[in-house]
Amino acid sequence: MIIHVVRAGDSLYSISRRYGVPIERIASDNELNVSESLVIGQTIVVMEGTRQHTVRAGESLYSIARQYGTTVAGIQAANQIANPALIMPGMVLTIPSGTDKLGTIDVNGYTFPNINMDVLRKTLPYLTFLSIFSYEVTPEGSFRTINDEPLIAAAREANVAPLMVITNLREGGGFDSDLARTILTNEQVQDTLINNVIENLRAKNYSGLDIDFEYIYPENRENYNDFLRKVVSRLRPLGYSITTALAPKIAADQPGLLYEAHDYPVHGALADHVILMTYEWGYTYGPPMAVAPINEVRKVLNYAVTAIPRRKILMGVPNYGYNWTLPYVQGSRAATISNVGAVGLARREGAEIQYDQSSQAPFFNYYDDGGKQHVVWFDDARSIEAKLRLINQYNLGGASYWTIGRFFPQNWLILSSLYDVRKVL
């Protein structure tokens, strides 16, 4: 795997020639139109495989290794070259892939029931779990049903474990703290809810449960812990897995309604997997910045690994960006944009994509037809690689995507280059 950052004058043809990979494969892998112009700063993922290189006058193993994104030692081993100085013009060298797999991980993907089924089927090979969002619980312990049967069938056909997601979302609105309190402080309602969950798990052929209760009142922290204990005691003997989604905390006593009731050590001890929602630093109503700056993600992981078994942690990865109108005014709304759509917008506006080293994220500026300036933050192959390498660096269990509804080919190219994905079915 090579990540090529487009420079002035680059084309898919020149990139193909440079790396010795057919232009048709590069276009297909990145889902690009060969006739479409490239954007300065855009990333192209080159899945090189094994290639042949004919040595030209003046070349060295070092310069050849740099050209193909591999190492001198790798070329020596692939060609049984003892002395790297003894290469001659006209020699044909085998160029090995420059990327070594880092291990096997679990990958979860959140999706809404209305996902395009072609997108779902293209994504399922890269997933361990499919979390279908969501069953919204009611104060009585029931939940609003969703059309999830086609997704469950597709997941199981691809050996992906479907997870039922329950949330304290109110109908047509956001997370409801009062609703969570009603559930978490009433034993009878909890029993009703758990019984309904088990019935639905069986009826729909789910593999496990994903609990995403957010904005819980701090005084209900122990109530939530006790509810989780009850869920685990009921579901695990039946063979179901339990996953919870947690806010991105950097300390055990972090203040704020989003954080205080999420008890990392208890969830880490009880759940099979814990999803850390490491995104939304840049968000709809907030100031412009990267959605998941790597420096901020690291702060969350630094705390998380002290409180949760590392292999239970699935690090959240966003699959979207935001387009802000400048100057930013508090309370103004940014527009959501897909990562592929962001590059298309930069092309149409003639913008050059830049890369922020601190947050490890791409962005660009442009002016709309009304003369207003915009800034767009999103993800590309570089930022995805930086995030996914954290899994290996922290020895985590894997990743969890929010959401898989928009297919981002470069993400899956990077993921499959770095890791094998575990299948549990």
pLDDT for the residue numbered 51: 75
Average pLDDT rounded to a whole number, residues 216-242:
98
Boundary of a domain, candidates 68, 95, 122: 95
Q: What is the mean pLDDT of residues 387-392?
A: 98
pLDDT of residue 76: 86
Residue 14 above 80 pLDDT?
yes
Give the pair of three-digit tokens for residue 375. 């800034």
Among 95, 127, 153, which residue terminates a domain? Answer: 95
Distance CA 368, CA 374 (A): 7
CATH of the domain at 283: 3.20.20.80
Which pLDDT does position 237 carry in this prediction?
98
The residue that leads in pLDDT, 70 or 379, is: 379
Closest CA to 167 of 211, 201, 207, 199: 211
pLDDT of residue 410: 98
Residue 225: its pLDDT value, please? 98
Residue 248 has pLDDT above 90, yes or no: yes
Per 3-state DSSP, the chain is made up of helix, strand and coil in percentages (nearest 5) of 35, 25, 40
Query: CA 258 to CA 94: how far, in whole Å?
Result: 54
**Would you place residue 172 in the very low, low, confident or very high pLDDT band (cuts 50, 70, 90)?**
confident
Cβ–Cβ < 8 Å for 281, 291: yes
> Are 52 and 133 part of one and the same domain?
no
| Assigned domain for 364 exists | no
pLDDT at 97 over 80: no
Q: Which of 214, 260, 296, 385 is catalytic?
A: 214
- Note the pTM of the prediction, 2 decimals: 0.91
Domain stop point among 64, 95, 126: 95
Best CA proximity match to 379, nearest among 325, 350, 341:
341
Same domain, 118 and 77: no
Does residue 245 lie within any of the structural domains? yes
Tens of pLDDT along 272-305?
999 999 999 999 999 999 999 999 999 999 999 9
**Known active-site residue 214:** yes
**Number of domains forming the structure of the chain:** 2
More confident residue, 409 or 53: 409
Is the pLDDT reported for residue 198 higher than 90? yes
80 and 135 both lie in a single domain: no
* Mean pLDDT (the chain, rounded): 95
- Given a cut of 80, whether residue 233 has pLDDT beyond it is yes
Please give the residue that has the higher pLDDT: either 172 or 113: 113
The phi-psi region of residue 173 (left if phi > 0; otherwise alpha if psi is between -120 and 50; otherwise beta) is beta
**Residue range(s) defining the domain that contains residue 57:** 2-95
Per-residue confidence (pLDDT) for residue 259, from 0 to 100:
98
Whether residue 110 sits in one domain with residue 75: no
Q: Tell me, what's the pLDDT at 68?
A: 82
C-beta separation of 72 from 57 below 8 A: no
**Could you tell me the pLDDT band of residue 139, with boundaries at 50, 70 and 90?**
very high
Question: How large is the average pLDDT for residues 126-140?
Answer: 98
Structure confidence at residue 66 (pLDDT):
85
Cis upstream peptide for 359 (omega within 30°) = no
For residues 185 and 62, state if they share a domain. no
DSSP 124: G
Q: How far apart are CA 167 and CA 300, in angstroms?
A: 23
Co-location of 16 and 116 in the same domain: no
| Residue 207 maps to a domain | yes
Give pLDDT, residue 69.
75
What does the chain come to in residues?
A: 425
- What is the reported pLDDT for 222? 98
Q: Which pLDDT value is given to residue 85?
A: 82
Same domain, 277 and 190: yes
